[in-house]
Chain A
């Protein structure tokens, strides 16, 4: 008998916009000592299916329509809330995506770890403390005795996720449900956490349900995989076999959409220097206290951008890559150095002198939900730069807006709609159209695809490649995702702690990374 066996599970949400089927007739099972990967894009019902088993979805609006979830022969869905509480956190533990918000910032880490042992199991504090310190050691936290008395903010994101794993394991569960546990983490940290989960599963004969949107992450980790789309399981089977030969068209799509390999076609770049950055330095002043000293976000960065190329800027979170991009465009004030655009200095220009240059220099932002004004229709949003930079006149602005929409692949019928009526991918197309409206030469794209699902990401990447070629654009592409950068960029810069460590043609950096950090970064990346 399997540890957990889910049969014909259907869950729906009843909202004022009608009934939405979140999960339809889902079957899966997990055995002891096995890792089951559940893969799907956002809204595919992968989290809802697990949450509903543990009674963690709000009902109403949620409703479990049918099915059963047998955990060691007992139906979880038939249990009362009190019975469920005994299972939840004891026999079935969970870890979540965001380790920053799942710990109470006012309590010492150790206090949070021993809480269930002391208050629910009646252990003495001394016993519980010893147990917790052993666990902290097991999940790879250095100096567990000291860490036990630390507060959550004293840990980095990866360390917090380790603490979360320790707190999930403290009650010795038999099943661990991990909901996107590495999505918020940097690649090097992600590699360590995946390693840890795999070790724990081996050592403790733990069953793991690993929910992820990323095929590449699941591929190496999971024994068996379930692929979900719009609430249904489209394919399931042993991991290795499925990745060798995906059967269902949707799995094949997912597979094909995950960026892999080198850039197919070289951009038509020249030796002509469009932008030259010299010893650019950006410092954020602290608050004067010891707790917040001044932060050197960009530390004497120097590089050139050739006309017509896509230059990748790779780094982990906090490396200063976004600040570098914004400093170039004068959106963040830099302290020293020079930025020359087409030969003339633009660093620190006052707003009125910068204004004509804004037409040439544009930016695409990461979060398509935050980068569009919610009170403006697409028409207003695109007409604004067209009219402001006098690219269009009042007479032909409508035509120009529609042309722009065609160019980024948006249906003309949507011209009067508002941002909240679009999906993430469509919004990102609007944001791209807005950046293109002033007919710029140079675009800084700050993580433009990292908030998107993999199939949408693929479409947006294709669109960007296409536009760069057609309009002869030059782009600085900022990303933490190595596979995307390799797929898109001609040359690449690697950044860490505000410093540029390495630069070169993408493939040569990939084949023979010179700097140890680059080597580590590339080794941590999971690939298909």
Chain B
């Protein structure tokens, strides 16, 4: 806007600094690229998939990989490549949306509990303890019974389980940050509690939160696979990696490709997320960023 500001040197924020550090970690960068590629491919699946995911060819039956069907076909003659791609859409969506739900609730809950403290903190955290104590399968079955079965509900149900750990992590962070002098300075400035939380507390908790989020995504995807395996998650003919793996496992000895390819897809994604999470943890470590 004004003249002098144009001459100002741009500072390196801690985020930029973390990014520079992450960039040096080849494994993390490669993982990031793999993930972005996977997400992109799954996004455009409806346009690039060679067949429809419901398209059956009962005469064909299960065939090993061939020129027409790169990853082979399943017992109903459905193209596996198509099904893996469509399954990826669901799995990745569950991973990201459920994690976002967990992130949103967990960060807010933990930050408020940690910052306000006292009796509020005690009540909020006791609620977390109680939810922890509930066997989550029963909790999810209950939700399904009451609200009926839908993908959206699955997202919410998983998110509602995963936010508990997030809230505890954030609360722990906030307890440390609350004693910092810059928070006291903000109080002395007269800022309302919500503004202090939003501007001064939450941004400083995000480092560990991001790391934990990347580790939550694989957890959530496995949880979905588990629920689908039990018949509580995605219903055929829709598919997810978890579901494909569970069917593949049944016919493993006759048609191994039905297990191998969806398993490989899930494994690659989990590996990439774990490596990325590791890289982020190193990059965001405040102890290393001092020098």
Contacts and interface: CB of A to CB of B under 8 A. Distances in A.
B188 A421 contact: no
Interface in A1-45: 15, 17
Contacts of B203: 373, 375
A362 B188 contact: yes
Interface stretch (B6-14, B107-115, B133-141, B231-239): B6-14
Contacts of A15: 291
A301 interface: no
Interface in A342-379: 351, 354-359, 361-363, 365-367, 370-377
Contacts of A365: 181, 184-185
Contacts of A388: 189-191, 195
B8 A370 contact: no
Interface residues of A, number: 44
B204 A363 contact: no
Given A17-B291, A370-B181, A399 B190 contact: no
A344 B289 CA distance: 47
Nearest to A374: B14
Contact of A358 (B181, B182, B189): B189
A356 B182 CA distance: 20
A371 B185 CA distance: 7
A63 B195 CA distance: 48
Interface band, chain B: 20 to 34
Contacts of B185: 363, 365, 371, 431, 434
A252 to B, nearest CB: 32
B199 interface: yes
B5 interface: yes
B69 interface: no
A385 B186 CA distance: 9
Contacts of B290: 420
Contacts of B2: 398-399
B120 to A, nearest CB: 15
A470 interface: no
Contacts of B8: 412-416
A384 interface: yes
Contacts of B188: 329, 331, 358, 361-363
Given A358-B188, A388-B190, A413-B7, A367 B181 contact: yes
Nearest to B201: A373
Contacts of B186: 373
A438 to B, nearest CB: 7
| For the complex of A and B, 4 pairs with smallest distance between CB atoms | A358-B190, A417-B11, A371-B181, A365-B181
Given A356-B190, A371-B180, A373-B203, 14 more contacts: A15-B291, A17-B291, A329-B188, A358-B189, A365-B184, A371-B182, A371-B184, A373-B204, A374-B204, A375-B203, A398-B2, A398-B5, A414-B8, A417-B12
